[in-house]
């Protein structure tokens, strides 16, 4: 068992891990080793794990985005809500110190 910190969590949970063999082209390994050598990751395993976690997080974000869009399609905002949203956006932009 290895301690794993999950993204978005402060707690450390113990997880039984399983080995997943993977074949990578030599050019990818050169780049991967460069990331480890420069200190971006502790090991190849850490880099690969981080990449997989990023893919999973991106997919979860995509699912959330799709659910939000579906909700607005089921129950679109009224014209008054649209006008209020545009007014709030304009006010927010005007407040920016550009």
Q: What is the pLDDT of residues 44-57, one digit of tens each?
A: 999 999 999 999 99
Global pTM reads 0.66
At 4, list the tokens: 């794993």
Q: What is the pLDDT of residues 32-84, one digit of tens each?
A: 999 999 999 999 999 999 999 999 999 999 999 999 999 999 999 999 999 99
Q: What pLDDT does 68 receive?
A: 97
User: What ranges do the domains of the chain cover?
Assistant: 23-95
Q: Which of 42, 52, 41 is nearest to 17 (CA)?
A: 52
Q: Which of 42, 19, 44 is nearest to 29 (CA)?
A: 44
49 — phi, psi (to 5°)?
-60, -45
């Amino acid at each position: 068992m290895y301690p794993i910190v999950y993204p978005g969590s402060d707690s450390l949970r113990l997880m039984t891990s399983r080995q997943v063999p993977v074949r990578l082209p030599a050019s990818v390994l050169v780049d991967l080793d460069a990331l480890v050598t420069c200190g971006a990751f502790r090991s190849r395993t850490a880099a690969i794990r981080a990449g997989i976690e990023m893919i999973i997080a991106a997919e979860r974000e995509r699912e959330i985005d799709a659910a939000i869009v579906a909700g607005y399609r089921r129950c679109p905002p009224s014209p008054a809500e649209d006008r209020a949203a545009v007014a709030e956006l304009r006010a927010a932009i005007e407040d920016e110190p550009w």
